Amino acid sequence: MSPLTRRDLLKAGAASAGAVAAPGIAHAATAAVTSTPPRAPVLQRVALEVNGRRVEREVDTRTSLLDLLREHLQLTGTKKGCDHGQCGACTAIVDGRRVNTCLTLAVMHEGAEVTTIEGLGTPERLHPMQAAFVKHDGYQCGYCTPGQICSAVAVLDEVRDGIPSHVTGDLTARPALSPDEIRERMSGNLCRCGAYANILDAIEDVAGTRRAAGAGA
């Protein structure tokens, strides 16, 4: 019989180790699958006022406010973009403040007043901010537009209430609604089409701070 080479010995050792380990690995994988049964969802009833109408739904406690609006109430104007709070497409106004609805659970807002894009205006009677977005072409594909408009409406309320931003120079004075203030406050709403200049024009128009084209040039 020819002597074993070093290569043959290593191959034989690896094969033996694999044969011994395989049943253990298979057993561990099977145990991991079978030992943890799926947990039944925990349901809870939540009542909110959405666009001026009281609604009650029983939802899984893991349901986001976004999914409550879209899947349970069919208010699909609020868009699911990134679902990670990074794009702002899901922005709605909750108790007077803008919220990324994908990042908050529905059951956390018992009794809250929620306004979505559907609650701001209708095609027959547009909210001033909606009308300004149309006037200044503040959208292209339109997917981010509901969140942009809800955020813009809340921005004007924030400034009116004297809430500062990261670019506010004097924290003891009411913020001035400058282009830099608007850009900073709207920075959480992304527009992949790049309609930012027109969105700024629309917000300034509603705020009454927009200068006519060419003024001061």
Domain ranges within the chain, ordered by starting residue = 41-120, 121-212
Beta-sheet pairing, 53-60 with 97-100: unpaired
Structural contact between residues 124 and 197, judged by C-beta atoms closer than 8 angstroms: no
Beta-sheet pairing, 43-50 with 113-115: parallel
Which superfamily does CATH assign the domain made up of 121-212 to?
[2Fe-2S]-binding domain (1.10.150.120)
Q: Buried b / exposed e across 116-148, counting CB within 10 Å, b at 16+?
A: bbbbbeeeeeebbbbebbeebebbeeebbbbbb
CA 144 – CA 161 distance, rounded (Å): 26
Q: How many CB atoms are closer than 10 A to CB 46?
A: 22
Residues with Cβ within 8 Å of residue 137, at least 6 apart in sequence: 195, 198
Please, what are the averages of pLDDT over each run of 10 residues along the chain (217 residues)? 64 62 60 69 96 97 98 97 96 97 97 98 95 96 97 96 93 92 97 96 92 50
Residue 217, pLDDT score: 38
Residue 214, pLDDT score: 47
Residue closest to 190 by CA, chosen among 113, 93, 82: 82
105 beta partners: 64
- For residue 56 the two structure tokens come to 């009650």
Structural contact between residues 177 and 160, judged by C-beta atoms closer than 8 angstroms: no
**41-120 in CATH: which number?**
3.10.20.30
E-state strands within 51-156:
53-60, 91-94, 97-100, 113-115
Residues with Cβ within 8 Å of residue 110, at least 6 apart in sequence: 46, 47, 48
Residue closest to 179 by CA, chosen among 200, 159, 160: 200
56 beta partners: 47
Question: What φ, ψ does residue 64 adopt, rounded to 5°?
Answer: -75, 160
DSSP string over 19-60: HHHHHHHHHHHHHHHHSSPPPPPPEEEEEEEETTEEEEEEEE
